[in-house]
Amino acid sequence: MKHILTFIVLLSTITASPAHLMAADSVSCWFPPSYKNNVEKAERIAKALSEKSGLQITPSIANSYPDILTSFATGSNNLVYVGSFVQAIIKARGLGTPLVQSIDGRELYSGILVYPKGKDPVEILKSTSSQIAYAIGASSGESTAKAATDGKASIATNSHTASLNAVIIGPASAAVVKNWWWDDNKHHYPGMETYNIPACSKVGNPDNILTASHALPREQRDKITLAAMQSKDAFGANDMRIFHEGTLMFSLWLMKKGSIDPITYTWN
């Protein structure tokens, strides 16, 4: 009911808005580097948002995550469609306002420990905490691994696949990866099993969130929110819902526990 009322308020606000707002400055809609392999989806989302909001929204696929944060910090009109790690940084730095989240049954995720069968996961975390592999800049990788080891995990990789390879060929004793990624890829790793790390492996990191930079006026943010709520097919979602910032608190807690500072984090 709360989401329905919010949607009605947005519709009322937009209906009453002056017509000149329809001619807003161009808005860049950022997508993570992985979208270089999914350009059509990025274009589809930007097109749907443009057509339904009346604003000029163009897709931009980042070469790196810092590119997104730099653009958000410049005061230009930006959107970003990305997961919890970057969203947590945006929140911590006060760079934007989350609008909506696409719902596909995997809108929340966790980081889990993957280790060689027959080993003791508790002992691995205790005795070889610095030898845990993780994907950098990922709540399900770096944040969870660091949180589970008091910041000691040190084998940084560029992907969950690379993290598992570091276990298979060395030097990692185990890897922390995204639960949904593991579900899709576990058949490739018959010699591995998983462990839910107490407190840290909660399925509580939000994914696929559309956020606006603070430079965008409220009226334009409302138009984009309404457009996104009407564009589930473009997002490839079962549904769309208003996103509440409090949902990011678990991701921020992981960062704090793992001694990751979202204000100064650089991906280096």
Q: Which domains are assigned to the chain? A: 2-106+204-257 (3.40.190.10), 111-195 (3.40.190.10)
DSSP assignment of 175-198 equals: EEEEHHHHHHHGGG-TTEEEE--T
The pLDDT score that the predictor gives to residue 19 is: 32
pTM for the structure as a whole = 0.90
The pLDDT score that the predictor gives to residue 4 is: 45
DSSP label at residue 244: -
The model's confidence at residue 268, banded by pLDDT at 50, 70 and 90, is confident
The pLDDT score that the predictor gives to residue 167 is: 99
pLDDT in tens, 76-87: 999 999 999 999
- The answer to whether residues 53 and 210 touch, using CB atoms and an 8 Å cutoff, is no
Classify 113 as helix, strand or coil.
strand
Q: Minimum mean pLDDT among 15-24, 164-173, 213-222: which range?
A: 15-24
* Range 37-76 burial, b when 16+ CB lie within 10 A, else e: eeeebbbbbbebbbebbbbebebbbbeebbebbebbbeee
Task: Please check the confidence at residue 168 and state whether its pLDDT lies above 70.
Answer: yes
Closest CA to 26 of 80, 60, 77, 61: 77
User: In which element (H, E) is residue 29 found?
Assistant: strand 27-31
User: In which element (H, E) is residue 120 found?
Assistant: none
Q: CA of 8: how far to CAs of 1, 218, 226, in Å?
A: 11, 16, 9
Report the distance separating Cα 179 and Cα 150, nearest Å.
21
DSSP label at residue 214: T
pLDDT in tens, 232-263: 999 999 999 999 999 999 999 999 999 999 99
